[in-house]
Amino acid sequence: MVMIVKTILCSNEKQLKVSTCERLLKTTVLDAQALIQAKKKQMDAIRNEISKLVPYPLVYSALPLIRTYFHQKNLTQLLHIIIYICEVVSCNLLFMEYEREFIPEMKEAIASLCYIGAKFSELPDLQKLRSQFSKKYGEKFIASLAECGANKEVINLCMVPEPLVEERNKLLKEIATQFHIQWNPPMALKFGCDCGCDCASCGCCK
């Protein structure tokens, strides 16, 4: 769906509360930075657990952990993007406060923060920030903006896509190297099958 940003006047000519927005953006950045560090520790712990399961056939038991690892990795990437967007919005708050019309250049940044706020409960201040935007531009406009104007990479990261076979095997190879384990992917993993059988013999993945 393509969204056209029309000239939107501030609802009731209200101004943004810059101090409130600055505080919410700052706390969001601090929370995001803390979450990045926490998720890095979680990812290190997951890698350690996967290393115990790398030897065939235990590697199939590691598949749920691998999915969790990539989920945390995607969220870490998303958090870095959130920090960047918060800095962009923070630099433009004064312009947004005094401009009666919606600034088209801020469409993607505001839409992305509002979209993430609805999907990512670990940063509750994003919902409060959305409320500030809604007071100035109207709830319907902000809701439509969040639905149709968010950055595509942000949307993809929020969807938590299944890791590709190549990504999964690359991670296993990296972990095997890190923990000095001799390992080659079983035929089933090469085909992207989670069944644990010998796909070369039964042909289930062909």
Q: 57 vs 73, which has greater pLDDT? A: 73
Residue 165 within any structural domain of the chain = yes
The domain that holds 97 is classified in CATH as 1.20.1260.60
Tokens matching residue 194:
């989670």
Q: 202 vs 110, which has greater pLDDT? A: 110
Residue 6 within any structural domain of the chain = no
Domain that holds residue 51: 11-202
Q: Give the model's pLDDT for residue 61.
A: 87
Tell me: the pLDDT tens digits for 79-101?
999 999 999 999 999 999 888 88
Residue 105 within any structural domain of the chain = yes
- The Cβ-side half-sphere exposure at 54, using a 13 Å CA radius, reads 25
Residue 71 within any structural domain of the chain = yes
Tell me: the pLDDT tens digits for 24-53?
999 999 999 999 999 999 999 999 999 998
Residue 3 within any structural domain of the chain = no
128-141 mean pLDDT: 93
Count of domains forming the chain: 1
Report how far residue 12's alpha carbon sits from residue 28's, in angstroms, rounded to the nearest whole number.
28
144-164 mean pLDDT: 90
Q: Give the model's pLDDT for residue 65.
A: 94
- Neighbouring residues of 108: CB distance < 8 A, sequence distance ≥ 6: 149, 150, 151
Residue 117 within any structural domain of the chain = yes
Residue 5 within any structural domain of the chain = no
Task: State the angle between helix axes of 125-137 and 107-119 in degrees (0 to 180), rounded to the nearest 10.
Answer: 130
Residue 154 within any structural domain of the chain = yes
Report how far residue 13's alpha carbon sits from residue 107's, in angstroms, rounded to the nearest whole number.
19
Report how far residue 198's alpha carbon sits from residue 143's, in angstroms, rounded to the nearest whole number.
50
Q: Give the model's pLDDT for residue 14.
A: 62
3-state secondary structure the chain: CCCCCCCCECHHHCCCCHHHHHHHHHHHHHHHHHHHHHHHHHHHHHHHHHHCCCCCCHHHHHHHHHHHHHHHHHHHHHHHHHHHHHHHHHHCHHHHHHCCECCHHHHHHHHHHHHHHHHCCCCCHHHHHHHHHHHHHCHHHHHHHHHHCCCHHHHHHHHCCCCCHHHHHHHHHHHHHHCCCCCCCCHHHHHCCCCCCCHHHHCCCC
Tokens matching residue 138:
């109207």
Report how far residue 169's alpha carbon sits from residue 190's, in angstroms, rounded to the nearest whole number.
8
